[in-house]
Structure 1
Amino acid sequence: MNHLYDRERDGFAGDTIVRSMRLLLLIHLAAGHLVRHVTWANDLSQSWRAVTMGTALAVCVATFRTRWQRVALLIALPLQVYQVYEKFPAVANHLWVETLLLLALLLVAEGDDDNVLYRQFACWLAVIVFFYSGLQKFWYGTYFDGQYLATKIALFEHYRVFFAWFVPAEDIARLQSYAPLYAGAGPFRIESLSYLVVVNLVWITEIVAALLLLFRRTRFWGLVFGLLVILGIELVAREVFFGVLYVAVCLAFLRRDGVRWLIPVATALYVYLILTTIEAFDWLPTPVFYP
């Protein structure tokens, strides 16, 4: 099997993906800290809010000076590690991805060999996360009959909006009646065939995407499947920060630097999300999203 990103065949002079990925990750981390600072203000102590806000502002200041970007990553690292420590073992997927990318981008420079090394790391990260995510869903079995997502339908309106296309209204009303969840609530079984097909396609597509990405001949379709998975996550779960970051990871499979084209899109999206958390901009349509 060929390397996911072969140094001799795929590497080229002038690659800029490390520089672009550093910039995107710093914008991503700064925006995430700012949004969490506002969104979860009531859940944070004053000292923690000060640290979070200070880190976000420091990263913002350093981000757009190329020579300071490594310093900005170092500033962000302690807070990132602490977040993982504080939430362990229930660490959100995007926190793991952020932390691994942060460490990788601290270790590499911006030469041609470093760009190839980063691409190899990012490609393997994409494969491992897709495969493990699908395997985990298969192993626990709660996707087979749709029970896991049925609990989400019971709890969250945006899940109900999406799955209304596949689940009868009476089932949605029944599930909604279980909220807030309590011991003995249920059943969470949904008989709709279209719902069960959609739910099981999630873990199947993740595993298939990972396997297709392993081989050069099937890599294009692996990337298509992977991006479809991310699109599905955004349509249903609306994990915006994870989605943007993971698209950037997957773009490492492209021979050219696709991340630099993602930066303005991600920046505009993050600015909009930050504005929707500020009272002065409460006239803006407020999307449901998870930072």
Structure 2
Amino acid sequence: MMLAPPATATRPFVAWAWRYLLAHLAFRYTERLLTSDEIRALPSLCLALMTAALVASFAGVRWARASKAIAAAAVAIEMASRFPFNSNHSFAETLLLILFVLVDFSEAEQRDLLVAMGRWIITLIMFHSGLQKILHGTYFDGMYLATRLDNDRFQWLLRHVLQPEEFTSLHRALQAGSEGPFAFHSPAAIVFSNAVYLSELFVALLLVRERTRALGTALGVMVIAAIEVVAREITFGILALNLLMLFSPLPWRKAVAALSIVAYVALLAAQWYVGPDVFLFV
């Protein structure tokens, strides 16, 4: 198998990865519960179930199936309650959970297959993300980014790549409700816009070949970090980072997963002390 890992998919690592995924989903349900105006019964139920699944994952081998069943129930409820408005991120999470549910952690061959599938998922995410930008054609002249100039998350960055007059003109047009067309003319802005999908595709290609995989992993981390600086979809960014770490040595995988959980706790603490605006960064 092209993206098959070396024999490092140990049972303790797979169990650790499972617990990380449960913690990730529990955090996302908490974020939804704290920031959404919708009826809170379902997010509360999903959070309770996912927390129970996480606790069960520490209770020994006998509780492994219970942990999987409870987590699957939580995800099924969450996906059904939001359909057809589910985010693409939630589909990636669901696919990962299905793989964990189907795999027998005691079987070495299945554990290796699980890690290989995780590698394929992040590779295909990067490839699809770049490809769909090409197919929609909204990045060639910066159309997509130009329509985001009224968003604070994009403004601060685009000020540095657009000429001041062009920035002001586009921003005023958006505020006036203009229907466009919107496009960049500044060379730096056009280069920046096209670099987004090119870097995603390049990372995907590097990850496929074993000789370039280390470079692809390092570049992938930088691309995800750069995207999150602007988009601030930190929850998915952290998950993508952990998937990328499947190409790295085992100690790195565990370290990043542990730091990710610390980041989730820090975000929750920030929400508690600072207020709901902190989740603009999630």
TM-score by length of 2: 0.87
Indicate yes or no: 2:97 matched with 1:102.
yes
Superposition CA RMSD, Å: 2.6
**Does 2:159 correspond to 1:164?**
yes
In structure 1, the partner of 2:126 is 130
Aligned to 1:150: 146
* Deviation of the 1:204 alpha carbon: 0.8
Aligned to 1:229: 223
Does residue 286 of the first structure (1) align with residue 278 of the second (2)?
A: yes
Per the alignment, residue 201 of structure 2 pairs with 207
Residue 240 of structure 1 aligns with which residue?
Answer: 234
CA apart distance, 1:145: 0.7
Cα distance in 1, alignment partners of residues 245 and 121 from structure 2: 12
User: Aligned partners of 1:119 and 1:238: how far apart in 2?
Assistant: 27
Q: Which runs of 5+ in 1 are unaligned?
A: none
Code of the residue aligned with 1:100 in structure 2: it is L
- Aligned residue number for residue 25 of structure 1: 21
Q: Which of 50, 66, 70 is residue 75 of structure 1 equivalent to?
A: 70
* Alignment partner of 1:261 is 2:260: no
- TM-score normalised according to structure 1 size: 0.85
Contact 1:146 1:190 in 2 (8 A): yes
Shift of 1:187: 3.5
* Residue correspondence of structure 1 range 7-86 to structure 2 within 5 A: 10-12=6-8, 14=10, 16-40=12-36, 42=37, 44-65=38-59, 67=61, 68=63, 70-86=65-81
Residue 4 in 1 paired to residue 3 in 2?
Answer: yes
Q: Alpha-carbon deviation of 1:32?
A: 0.7
Q: Which has the higher contact order (CA 8 A, sep 6+)?
A: 1
Which sections of structure 2, spanning at least 5 residues, go unmatched?
none
SS in 2 for 1:190: coil
**Structure 2 counterpart of 1:173:** 168
Partner of 2:149, secondary structure, is: helix
- What are the Cα deviations for residues 28-71 of structure 1, in whole angstroms up to 9, with x where unaligned? 0111111110011x2x1143244234334434543544544553
Deviation at 1:73, TM superposition (A): 3.6
Flag the structure with higher helix content: 2
* 2: CA distance, partners of 1:13 / 1:45: 41
Secondary structure of the residue that 1:244 maps to in structure 2? helix
Tell me the equivalent position of 2:112.
116
Shifted more, 107-116 versus 135-144: the winner is 107-116
2:264 maps to what in 1? 270
Partner amino acid, structure 2, of 1:260: K
Partner secondary structure for residue 286 of structure 1: helix
* Aligned-residue identity in percent: 29
| Paired residue type of 2:269 | L
Question: For each residue in 1:263-285, what CA deviation from the matched residue of structure 2 results, as whole angstroms up to 9, or x when unmatched?
Answer: 2211121112112333xx12899
- Asked if the contact 1:134–1:202 (Cα under 8 Å) also holds between the matched residues in 2, the reply is yes
Task: Name the amino acid aligned to 2:127.
Answer: F
* Cα-to-partner distance string for 1:84-119 (whole Å, 9 max, x where unaligned): 345455532321211111111111133432321111
The 3 A distance-change label for structure 1 pair 130 and 90 is farther
Cα deviation, 1:143-187, whole Å, max 9, x if unaligned, reads: 101111122222x102111222212333333333355684x4334
TM-fit CA distance, 1:233: 1.5
